[in-house]
Chain A
């Protein structure tokens, strides 16, 4: 097995172990935490398609995350839709918002793209909290978001809902893996490393970027909907730029551009947050120190760090 493959396999194993904690360990122990990790992982995997693979830093993905959540909440509570159609609609709404943003934002690149996506998402955040309050419940949000009611299973039991989320997660992961290794994925990477050359070869770079954006928007919308259902609640906080910032940090921390890196990043972030907040009241500061140290010493994120360590110890055989 080549070094690359080996590292990926190890990362996959680690992710698998985390993800299966609720199955392996009985009781309600890590269930809500792992469910949270799975939901955010879906978000992060989709986001990395834009960030790691296509090389665009978007600071506005909270918009798709949040609108997906609101879509599910409104369709189920106000229009009586079933959960699965509403979940699909949430993804489509997320994709739609992404395409809308891309019309504005893809005119510019780099830092300006990041700032523009941030501004667009913040605009939505401001509106959701104030002018659109009849739709969104304003600053206080909408409670009473339901769980799925399917096949006679009680998804209000967190254990059962975990399996539902796991299923969606697996589908999302497989689709992402296929996309990344397909010609489409290669084309995106080409656009990332040298867009001028890519265009000369004949790729329609705008179309490629827009589609990547749309797909990540779909992922974001679905994950937002799943989170709203997990929490029984949706609020404008999900549209805030700090939510966009969270997913960027998770992906950076875990290792952008890899398949399992973002998941690892989500896991490390959430576990650290849970664990540190119980250990010390100053956990926010400790988390900050972790970021600083990670940036200086682990530039490829934890995935890169793991890869480095694994390669080194492999060489010492």
Chain B
């Protein structure tokens, strides 16, 4: 056995080991470290980038510091899957992160909650909508400043009543969250005298709704409730557009459309109604300033992902600053009862019982936009007050 061979093997092994070490993140106590674990690829890949922008602007607007130290965000891609989310967050926590920001998909966020609770590290959620992420006796360390699906469902109920729809046919994704949302909706509107003429449960990720659309077209329903998430909404609207369903029936859904999804659907999205998490047209001073700054820096209208991320992170960092302490427990206690008067959507109140922020709900319609607005844009048609949208703890 030659020395050269041994040396080669040793170098090989050392570099492989070196890579495993290098792959970790060095600890640095002189900064406020945020672990940003969001989707930069996979089904929700487009959302992560917007959230990153929102956070970066929020940090910029406070001079890049909190508690007298610079803020350092490390962004990692969870690929819209729970396992990479936990893996990367674990690594970042081992490197000294003081909090986790993320994730996008509810599955990843739920997975991160376990980790956050184990490591006693705050988790700030500004997009995932699954109700169970914030609930009474839920995770002490999780806070959500954005909408819950429950809110969106209740808005859909109010919209149904306000619009005078009497007969509803629904398509529901075969997914716990949407199924439960549908049950809530159904009970509420049936109490208001609305008839459900049909409901079909489609698999998550369904690619062909033509048969279901055909069934819908044959009924005398005046409203189509589309209780699906993400891509599935785009698929449905594209195909219902080809069948002309939107011409005789009102299509709506709790999380059906925004500027991004409307662009994905095309002209068939006109006239569709949906819950809107945040909108750049919402008129108050804080939002106007934010939108102006965002457009100046990124040359684009802020999406709901960017807006909610900016809002949530600003609120959180302000609260951390107000405690004057590096003790995470103090941050959690301070945030749990806090109120933000000048959030981008008006007043938001963080509820101590479930760590969910009470806020107004926006509902809108897809309309044609004139320059400089995007060609397909949301027009806010209803603003619902928190009292109507959040059940008591």
Contact = CB atoms under 8 A, between A and B. Distances in A.
Interface string B169-180: 000001111000
A138 B16 contact: no
Interface residues of B, number: 45
B81 A237 contact: yes
Contact of A267 (B16, B76, B77): B16
Interface in B1-23: 1-2, 4-5, 8-9, 12-14, 16-17, 19-23
Given A32-B87, A232-B114, A278 B174 contact: no
Given A10-B9, A29-B21, A313-B2, A231 B83 contact: yes
Contacts of A314: 1-2, 5
A124 to B, nearest CB: 15
Interface in A107-162: 126, 129-130, 133, 137-141, 143-145, 156, 158
Given A139-B204, A233-B111, A31 B94 contact: yes
A310 interface: yes
A140 B16 contact: no
A277 interface: yes
B20 A30 contact: yes
A17 B176 CA distance: 45
A33 B344 CA distance: 40
A158 B20 contact: no
A232 B20 contact: no
B16 A278 contact: no
Main SS at interface, chain A: helix
Interface string B195-206: 000000001100
B114 A233 contact: yes
A1 B24 CA distance: 38
Contacts of B104: none
B113 interface: yes
A235 B80 CA distance: 13
A309 interface: yes
B13 A18 contact: yes
Nearest to A231: B86
B347 to A, nearest CB: 31
B365 interface: no
A238 B82 CA distance: 10
A232 B86 contact: yes
B118 interface: yes
Nearest to B6: A10
Given A18-B20, A33-B24, A34-B20, A232 B115 contact: yes
B107 interface: yes
Given A138-B175, A314-B5, A145 B114 contact: yes
B17 A18 contact: yes
Interface string B30-49: 00000000001100000000
A184 interface: no
Contacts of A238: 83
A28 interface: yes
Contacts of B118: 156, 232
Interface in A1-26: 1, 6, 10, 13-14, 17-18, 21, 24-25
A237 B110 CA distance: 14
A313 B374 CA distance: 64
Contacts of A37: 20
Interface string B109-129: 011011100100000000000
A36 B9 contact: no
Given A14-B9, A130-B203, A309-B8, A231 B1 contact: no
A30 B8 contact: no
Contacts of B83: 227, 231, 233, 235, 237-238
- Which 10 residue pairs are nearest across A and B when measured between Cβ atoms? A232-B114, A30-B20, A28-B94, A274-B23, A233-B111, A17-B13, A138-B176, A29-B24, A143-B114, A231-B86
Given A138-B175, A233-B82, 15 more contacts: A1-B1, A18-B16, A18-B17, A29-B94, A32-B94, A129-B204, A130-B175, A141-B82, A141-B107, A156-B118, A158-B90, A227-B83, A232-B114, A233-B86, A233-B114
21 contacts: A13-B13, A14-B9, A17-B13, A17-B16, A18-B20, A25-B17, A29-B94, A31-B94, A32-B90, A33-B23, A37-B20, A139-B204, A231-B86, A231-B87, A231-B114, A233-B111, A233-B114, A235-B107, A267-B16, A314-B1, A314-B2
Interface of B: 1-2, 4-5, 8-9, 12-14, 16-17, 19-24, 40-41, 76-77, 81-83, 86-87, 90-91, 94-95, 106-107, 110-111, 113-115, 118, 130, 174-177, 203-204
Interface of A: 1, 6, 10, 13-14, 17-18, 21, 24-25, 28-34, 36-37, 126, 129-130, 133, 137-141, 143-145, 156, 158, 227, 231-233, 235, 237-238, 267-268, 271, 274-275, 277-278, 281, 284, 306, 309-310, 313-314, 316-317
